[in-house]
Structure formats: structure tokens, C-alpha cells
Amino acid sequence: MIQGRAFRSFAVAAALTASSAAASARAEECSLKLIASYDMLQSDSLVVIPMVMNGKTRYTTLDTGAFGNWVTQKFVDDDKLQTHDITTMKVYGARDRSEKYTTIPSVEIGPLHQAASNFMVLSGEDFGELSAGLGTSALAQFDVEFYFAAQKVKFFSQDHCEGRVVYWTKDYTVLPFNLSDQTAHIEMFLDGHTLDTSFDTGATYSYINARILAGIFGRDGSSEKEITLNGQKIHSATFHSLSIGGVTFPNPALLVMEDKMREFAKDDVPVKDQNQAGVTLPHFPHLLLGLDAIRHLHVYIAYKERKIYVSAADAH
């Protein structure tokens, strides 16, 4: 009997040890794995981090509202890179087209090294010290955290348990998103209307499409309040409430954007093809949530899960 009790005690101890080891292994599988952490060089106008590209540190913005990656013409000229015509498809911005691309020999995100990456070339604008931008095609390979209160951007591995990502607070909201045009889109409520919204860390301000302002709200953009922004005249429309889940932005003032993207597409896509079933012309988002709103949040984008986790910027 003594021998039997001893054996059972040993078996229980072994079972507890095995159970503990399994729990530890599961916890390890679920834990977040940090790949790289960067200090934000800006956060009010753009999210900019110092990244190493082609062996040099470049000021790079992170743009969840763009699909492709881009570099400035100055980057291309300084590094004596070759450019090539974009022939397979047109790449549209809010105000222009991109017609050329270049290949960057090397791009580094923390310890990860990517060779021979294609970037669109943007020209005709003064980008100051900004050299490049990363869009969804690059960001979607990671989980990305925008920690505005600490002025940090963190890249995490997507190898973790689903939903186990918010480590800084228990009070957060989960926003499902889709990549319908290869950029992050959520549904938001503007004065009681549900609008497809681009979650855009690459935009300084929040915008409403002039077509949506007229079609849904019956308001003429040219009759809205005119303001001067960066030396240019633009109209601003004020609403009562913009919200999603537990996140609310009271009395938002949204800049009115004419849909130049749609006009470009109409010029480029043959008329006979524009009305075909399944053909959707590129267009400016119905609503664009920019950094003037996003920087008041703590954001974790889990691209593999198709979820954005948000809390107040100072939540803990």
C-alpha cells in the first residue's frame, strides 16, 4: 500500500508537471513576438519612422490607406535607381496617378531583410525629408501597433493565438475590417448613416467623398465652410457624431474631397467596360478616417485576423 501510494503520488506529480509544461507551451504559442520597434518621428501630420532601405536610413511613412509602397523621385535620383513604366495597371492616388516604379535592392524591418522590392515612384511634389511610404502590401505581412501616447510603432509576428493581442488594457474595442481594395476598410456611423471607411494612417486629416456628401446627406460641398489648409482653399463639413462600437468622435469636421480618382479611372477604363457586371471603378473612399482622429487612439492592426483593436491612446 505504501508503495502504491508513492507510485500514485509520483504519477500525479508527473501529470502536474506535464500539464504545467503543456500550459507553458500554449502560453508561448499565444504570446506576442516582437519583430521591431521604432520611435515615431512625427504623429500629428504623418506616422514617420527611420527605416533602412538600400543601406541608408530613410524617413518612411506607414500608410494603411494605400496598397502599394512608394518612394520619392529624389530617392530614385540620389541612389541612381532605374525606373520602369507601370503597364499592367494604373495606380491612383487622391489627386494623381503613379506611372513608374523602381526596385529597391534591400529593405530592412528590424532583423528582417527583403531583397529586390518594387516601389511606385511619386514625383511632382515636395516631400521634404520624407523618402518613402509602406502600404498594405508590406504592412499586411505583420501585425502593426501604433502606440501614439509613447510615440512608438511596433511590428509583431502574426504567429500567435487569435484575439490575444491587447496587452496594455482590458478596455478596448474590436473593429472588423476588410481589404476590399487592398487597404483597411471599416464601417463607421456618421449621423446615423453607415459608411464604408478607409482607416488611413497615411492621411493627416479625415475626409468625406463629395459624391457621398451630396448623395446621402443632400449637401453641396461647395456650399460648406471654406477654410485655408496648407495654403490651399478647401471645404469642411461638420456633423453631429462619427462612431463605431464604443469609439465616438463628437461633432467631427470632415474635409470635402472631390473624387478625382473616379475621374481618372473613367478616363482610363473604356466606356464599354465601365458598366460590365463586377467592374468597380477605383474611387476615393466614401469616408476616410485620418490621423486627426486616429492619433487619439491606441491601435493594434491584426492583418491576418482582419481586426483592428483600439482603445483610448492613454488607456492602461
* SS3 label, residue 246: coil
Per residue in 83-120, pLDDT tens? 998 876 444 444 445 688 999 999 999 999 999 999 99
The stretches of the chain forming alpha helices (DSSP H) are 2-30, 73-78, 136-139, 210-215, 260-268, 271-274, 291-294
What's this model's pTM, rounded to 2 decimal places? 0.82
* SS3 label, residue 147: strand
Average pLDDT score over the chain:
83
For the chain, helix (H) and strand (E) counts, in that order, are 7, 24
- Identify the pLDDT of residue 94: 40
Q: Which residues of 119-153 are buried (b: 16+ CB within 10 A; e: fewer)?
A: bbbbeeeebeebbbbbbbbbbbbbbbbbbbbeeeb
- At 17, the pLDDT band (50, 70, 90 cuts) reads very low
Longest dimension (CA), the chain: 93
Q: How far apart are CA 289 and CA 208, in angstroms?
A: 9
- Identify the pLDDT of residue 1: 36
What pairing do the DSSP bridges indicate for beta strands 207-209 and 253-257?
Answer: parallel
- Identify the pLDDT of residue 93: 45
- Between 41-55, 222-236, 253-267, the lowest mean confidence (pLDDT) is in 253-267
What pairing do the DSSP bridges indicate for beta strands 193-199 and 232-238?
Answer: unpaired
Handedness of CA 129, 107, 100, 198 (dihedral sign): negative
- At 43, the pLDDT band (50, 70, 90 cuts) reads low
